[in-house]
A and B are shown apart, each in its own frame.
Chain A
Amino acid sequence: MMNIIKKQSDDRLTIALEGRLDISTAPDLEQVVVGSLAGVADLVFDLEKLSYISSAGLRVLLLAQKKMNKQGSMKVIHVNEIIMEVFVNMGFSDIMTIEQEQI
């Protein structure tokens, strides 16, 4: 299960994810990424309430990064320790702007 909460103000879109981003929920996020980025210059993924990410989820974040490279910037914020370790091991921390959870 995952909730996707979108907040838009002007050309800034924040997508907050709650739950698990895995093989079952990644297609929902992919739809949002494919369908909601027109005119967005500043994309923020808020992962504060995301407990888990699998490779299917990583793939969608990479897709979003590729889209935003062409039209603006992207940031991933409030990343918990488990997910941060995945980002580091997979090399995502080298190609994405990632901010860890405030402790």
Chain B
Amino acid sequence: MAEESVLRIPARLEGMDLILSFVSFLLDSHGCSPQARTQLRMAVEELYVNVTLYAYPSGDGWAEIRGCVEDGIATFKLIDGGTPFNPLEKDDPDIMLSGEERGIGGLGIFMVKTMVDEVEYEYRDGCNQLTLRKQL
């Protein structure tokens, strides 16, 4: 089992640079391609934005990112102790609709799905836990 790295910070937008640095640091030490690195950073950014905006409607909270790379597969988990919410239950936006017919929300989680190989949601021990996996 590869060693997992962990970073836990207040769930605020100002923490984005820390979260993305964590992702880059871990990937760079495993010789990740620039493309996979960018895609993972984009996916994590979308998920972290959601945590900062929606997880704690009544005030401050925390967010934690865990990551490891094993057998050429990067796994990142984004965890928060906020309101239970599974973003994966939302239907994908219909990308074949014209710009006129298409709604303008719901793009973030769809973007995450296009950037990584697997996304999973779990509500465990009172926490939202989203897991991303991607072959490097």
| Interchain CA distance A54-B112 in the complex, whole Å | 10
Judging by beta carbons under 8 Å apart, are A66 and B111 in contact? no
Judging by beta carbons under 8 Å apart, are B99 and A66 in contact? yes
Q: How many B residues touch A, CB cutoff 8 Å?
A: 21
- Contact pick for B13, options A23, A62, A69, A95, CB 8 Å: A23
Closest A residue, CB atoms, query B113:
A89
The secondary-structure label for the interface of chain B is helix
B104 CB contacts on chain A under 8 angstroms: 59, 62-63, 66
B108 CB contacts on chain A under 8 angstroms: 54-56
A10 within 8 A of partner (CB): no
With contacts A59-B105, A90-B110 taken as known, whether A95 is within 8 angstroms of B42 at the C-beta atoms is no
Task: List CB contacts (< 8 Å) of A30-75 with chain B.
Answer: 52, 54-56, 58-59, 62-63, 65-66, 69
A89 CB contacts on chain B under 8 angstroms: 111, 114-115
| Interchain CA distance A82-B33 in the complex, whole Å | 13
A-B pairs with beta carbons under 8 Å apart, 5 shown: A62-B99, A66-B99, A86-B114, A89-B115, A90-B107
Q: How many A residues touch B, CB cutoff 8 Å?
A: 22
The secondary-structure label for the interface of chain A is helix
Judging by beta carbons under 8 Å apart, are A24 and B13 in contact? yes
Chain A min CB distance to B67 (Å): 20
Judging by beta carbons under 8 Å apart, are A94 and B105 in contact? no
| Interchain CA distance A44-B95 in the complex, whole Å | 22
| Interchain CA distance A80-B38 in the complex, whole Å | 13
Chain A min CB distance to B134 (Å): 14
B100 CB contacts on chain A under 8 angstroms: 66, 69
A84 CB contacts on chain B under 8 angstroms: none
With contacts A59-B105, A89-B114, A90-B114 taken as known, whether A69 is within 8 angstroms of B99 at the C-beta atoms is yes
**8 closest A-B pairs by CB:** A91-B95, A55-B108, A89-B114, A55-B107, A65-B99, A95-B99, A23-B49, A55-B111
B45 within 8 A of partner (CB): yes
Per-residue contact bits, chain B 82-111, to A (CB 8 Å; 1 contact, 0 not): 000000000000011011101011011011
